[in-house]
């Protein structure tokens, strides 16, 4: 159940739109956390981190998440533990 009107995976998509992130652009985990703290402060750090992994196509731990069959969760490419590129 979502705390806000949208689930976190959709809020991450909103983050990309709101911050004008373009394909291939690299973002930091800190940027994402900062945006969530400002706009959605009730969402926990662990939830944000887990969703970044879930939505990163090459993240090794991604196999542990229930992924969308339509590819809706393919948003980022994980560069390292703190940086992601828009897919």
DSSP string spanning the chain?
Answer: --SSSS-HHHHHHHHHHHTT--TT-EEEHHHHHHHHHHH-TTS-HHHHHHHHHHTBTT-GGGGGS---TTSTT--EEEEETTEEEE-
Q: Pairing mode, if any, of strands 76-80 and 83-86?
A: antiparallel
CB atoms within 10 A of CB 78: 20
Whole-structure pTM value: 0.95
In tens, the pLDDT along 45-72 reads 999 999 999 999 999 999 999 999 999 9
């Amino acid at each position: 159940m979502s705390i806000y009107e949208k689930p976190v995976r959709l809020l991450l998509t909103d983050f990309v739109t709101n911050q004008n992130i373009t394909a291939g652009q690299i973002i930091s985990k800190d940027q994402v956390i900062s945006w969530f703290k400002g706009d959605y402060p009730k969402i926990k750090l662990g939830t944000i981190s887990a969703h970044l992994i879930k939505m990163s196509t090459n993240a090794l731990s991604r196999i542990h998440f229930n992924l969308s069959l339509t590819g809706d969760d393919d948003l980022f490419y994980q560069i390292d533990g703190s940086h992601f590129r828009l897919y």
